Chain A
Amino acid sequence: MIAFQDVAHDYGGGPLFRDATITLEKGSFHFLTGPSGAGKSTFLKLCYGELRPTSGSVALLGQDMNTMSRDDLARTRQRIGIVHQDCQFLDHLTVEQNVALPLSATGRTVSQDNLADLLGWVGLAGQARALPPTLSGGERQRTALARAIIASPEVLLADEPTGNLDWDMSQRLVSLMVELNRMGTAVLIATHDMNLIRFVKTQVSARVLRIARGEVQTAGADL
């Protein structure tokens, strides 16, 4: 799905990490941990092409990012679901319009039945016509998750998706991701919440990647 080969990234003040060689397989579940500022968000941005590696190569869904055109990148992102900590909605559109955006903005058909089912699955049936600024933190994260998965992505990337949520809501949200993973979607969640990782590992086989001292290490299943 996503393969890093000797990847390094540098914003100009020295590499955040280097020589990262990682592969996210189809249907896998990964966590990405590390202290604040270690490069978790940068790693994720490399996974969906918002950043290009300073050196090395990143293959997204079989395509080398370094040779991708802008349209190729857009088409690749249509197969990747992304959940940001700050959600990033179009605040003037309703919840259902935001959720449907990955389909409607890429010329694909939006089935109203599927949309309603999805909103029901994430527990937002009653907020379909609400505007994002009126939602609670948990509702916003679930809206972001619904938007990320409406196009049945092959990979789901989430950057601190439970950062602003209480434990119950965090469990609820991550359980939806586990359910999605069981349906075949590869999942990568960047988080520093060890309890969340332990909670997920009781339900699914998950691997943990740790960024520390400029290296991306595989912590394995023995966390």
Chain B
Amino acid sequence: MNRYQISRLVVPRSGRGVWLVGLSAAAMAFLAVFALALSVSAARLAQNWQAALSQTATVRISAPPEEMVEQTAIVLEVLRTTPGIADAREMTDDEQAGLLEAWLGPDLPLDALPLPRLIDVTETPGGPDRQGLRLRLSAEAPGAVYDDHTRWRRPLAEGAARLRQLANLSLVLIGSVMAAIVMLASSASLASNAQVIRVLRLVGAQDRFIAQAFVRRMTLRATLGAAAGAALGAIAMLLLPDPATGSSVLSGLGFQGIGWLLPVSLPVVTAILAWASAKATAFGVLKGVT
């Protein structure tokens, strides 16, 4: 029997602490999959919102009905001659009705409502001098307001960033709990095997060998548990509604492409965490044994 085999054998297989580690690792990995998904999705969402709104703007014209056509023409002319504006297009009644449908329902009698006229603006990457443009618009078309979406974009981006921070904090907490459980289980396992440790020290085994016997078992159980938990978490993610259907608020939650490597990496990260925690605990306990 070689040293590797004997280090597997010297610690008795019984011990609830060892199963506790596997079970906890599975639960923590399952939760970590969702925290990771939340983190990744929040980052993606923030990026999408940023990209979707960053080079667009809307001019809203609120004017008496008899001046609406004239002011709209003036605004379009101002926009056409302003550097930094790539395109400006008056939205059709159908497009405006489509925007309002989500709030007011279908079959909206647009004619009966004093709705402002909307102009969809696309900016160049550098964008216009917004302050100057606003002043010019207010001078030539008093009812026109240039909205570059900043007031929408900022809270959305901040919300997404906050969501990502929360997800990352959850990951740190999950990792800390995992490390604490491994440490507790390692301590319990070492304490319940005091006789094994004593005998091994008596026959001249070094701390490295004794610790290895415990650390290997803890690491293996934690890794297997994490693999099972991550697999279940990944399956649960796959069962969430497809983003393409847009049928649920959760449809944006999940991994895409290379992002699926993140749940796959969880057992590896857990193994490293469990190994380090169990090793630190084992050497700490062994210091007290002569």
Residues of A within 8 A of B (CB): 48-51, 70-71, 73-80, 82, 88-90, 92-93, 97, 100-102, 104-107, 110, 147, 151
Asked if residues B201 and A74 are in contact (CB atoms below 8 Å), the reply is yes
Q: Which residues does chain A contribute within 8 Å of B9, judged by CB atoms?
A: 92-93, 97
With A49-B290, A50-B290, A97-B9 known to touch, is A105 a contact of B1 (CB < 8 Å)? no
Asked if residues A88 and B201 are in contact (CB atoms below 8 Å), the reply is no
Q: Across chains A and B, which 5 residue pairs bring their CB atoms closest together, nearest first? A: A78-B204, A77-B204, A104-B6, A105-B205, A102-B203
**Contact among B2, B198, B207 with A88 in the assembled complex (CB-CB below 8 Å):** B198
Asked if residues B203 and A101 are in contact (CB atoms below 8 Å), the reply is yes
List the A residue with the shortest CB-CB distance to B196: A90
> Shortest beta-carbon distance, B203 to chain A, in Å?
4
List the B residue with the shortest CB-CB distance to A45: B290
Asked if residues A82 and B209 are in contact (CB atoms below 8 Å), the reply is no
B173 interface residue per 8 A CB criterion: no
Q: Which residues does chain B contribute within 8 Å of A105, judged by CB atoms?
A: 3, 6-7, 10, 200, 203-205, 209
Q: Which residues does chain B contribute within 8 Å of A89, judged by CB atoms?
A: 199
With A49-B290, A93-B10, A105-B3 known to touch, is A77 a contact of B199 (CB < 8 Å)? no
B195 interface residue per 8 A CB criterion: yes
**Contact among A78, A79, A88, A107 with B199 in the assembled complex (CB-CB below 8 Å):** A88
**Contact among B2, B7, B10 with A90 in the assembled complex (CB-CB below 8 Å):** B10
Instruction: Report the separation of the CA atoms of residues A101 and B202 in the bound assembly, to the nearest whole angstrom.
Output: 10
Instruction: Report the separation of the CA atoms of residues A77 and B9 in the bound assembly, to the nearest whole angstrom.
Output: 21
Asked if residues B206 and A104 are in contact (CB atoms below 8 Å), the reply is no
Instruction: Report the separation of the CA atoms of residues A191 and B237 in the bound assembly, to the nearest whole angstrom.
Output: 70
> Shortest beta-carbon distance, B97 to chain A, in Å?
78
Instruction: Report the separation of the CA atoms of residues A92 and B12 in the bound assembly, to the nearest whole angstrom.
Output: 7
- The tally of residues in B whose CB lies under 8 Å from a CB in A reads 26
Q: List B164-223 residues whose CB lies under 8 Å from chain A.
A: 195-196, 198-207, 209
Asked if residues B207 and A101 are in contact (CB atoms below 8 Å), the reply is no
5 more contacts with CB within 8 A, not counting A50-B202, A80-B204, are A76-B204, A90-B10, A92-B9, A110-B1, A147-B203
Asked if residues A106 and B206 are in contact (CB atoms below 8 Å), the reply is yes
Q: Which residues does chain A contribute within 8 Å of B198, judged by CB atoms?
A: 88
List the A residue with the shortest CB-CB distance to B205: A105
- Pull 30 A–B residue pairs with CB atoms less than 8 Å apart, ordered by A: A48-B202, A70-B207, A71-B206, A74-B206, A75-B204, A76-B204, A77-B201, A78-B203, A82-B202, A88-B195, A88-B199, A88-B202, A89-B199, A92-B9, A92-B12, A93-B9, A93-B10, A97-B9, A100-B1, A100-B6, A102-B203, A102-B204, A104-B3, A104-B6, A105-B3, A105-B10, A105-B205, A105-B209, A106-B205, A106-B209
Asked if residues A90 and B201 are in contact (CB atoms below 8 Å), the reply is no
> Shortest beta-carbon distance, B12 to chain A, in Å?
5
Asked if residues A104 and B2 are in contact (CB atoms below 8 Å), the reply is yes
> Shortest beta-carbon distance, B283 to chain A, in Å?
10
Asked if residues B290 and A107 are in contact (CB atoms below 8 Å), the reply is no
Q: Which residues does chain B contribute within 8 Å of A49, judged by CB atoms?
A: 290
List the A residue with the shortest CB-CB distance to B206: A74
Instruction: Report the separation of the CA atoms of residues A80 and B196 in the bound assembly, to the nearest whole angstrom.
Output: 19
Q: Which residues does chain A contribute within 8 Å of B205, judged by CB atoms?
A: 74, 105-106
> Shortest beta-carbon distance, B181 to chain A, in Å?
25
**Contact among B3, B10, B287 with A107 in the assembled complex (CB-CB below 8 Å):** B3
Q: Which residues does chain A contribute within 8 Å of B2, judged by CB atoms?
A: 104
* Most chain A beta carbons < 10 A, residue from B9, B195, B196, B199: B199
Instruction: Report the separation of the CA atoms of residues A89 and B10 in the bound assembly, to the nearest whole angstrom.
Output: 11
Q: Which residues does chain B contribute within 8 Å of A88, judged by CB atoms?
A: 195, 198-199, 202
Instruction: Report the separation of the CA atoms of residues A80 and B204 in the bound assembly, to the nearest whole angstrom.
Output: 9
List the B residue with the shortest CB-CB distance to A78: B204
Instruction: Report the separation of the CA atoms of residues A110 and B203 in the bound assembly, to the nearest whole angstrom.
Output: 14
Asked if residues B203 and A106 are in contact (CB atoms below 8 Å), the reply is yes
Q: Which residues does chain A contribute within 8 Å of B202, judged by CB atoms?
A: 48, 50, 77, 82, 88
Instruction: Report the separation of the CA atoms of residues A160 and B113 in the bound assembly, to the nearest whole angstrom.
Output: 106
> Shortest beta-carbon distance, A71 to chain B, in Å?
5
> Shortest beta-carbon distance, B217 to chain A, in Å?
14
> Shortest beta-carbon distance, B145 to chain A, in Å?
77
> Shortest beta-carbon distance, A92 to chain B, in Å?
5
Instruction: Report the separation of the CA atoms of residues A48 and B204 in the bound assembly, to the nearest whole angstrom.
Output: 10
List the B residue with the shortest CB-CB distance to A77: B204
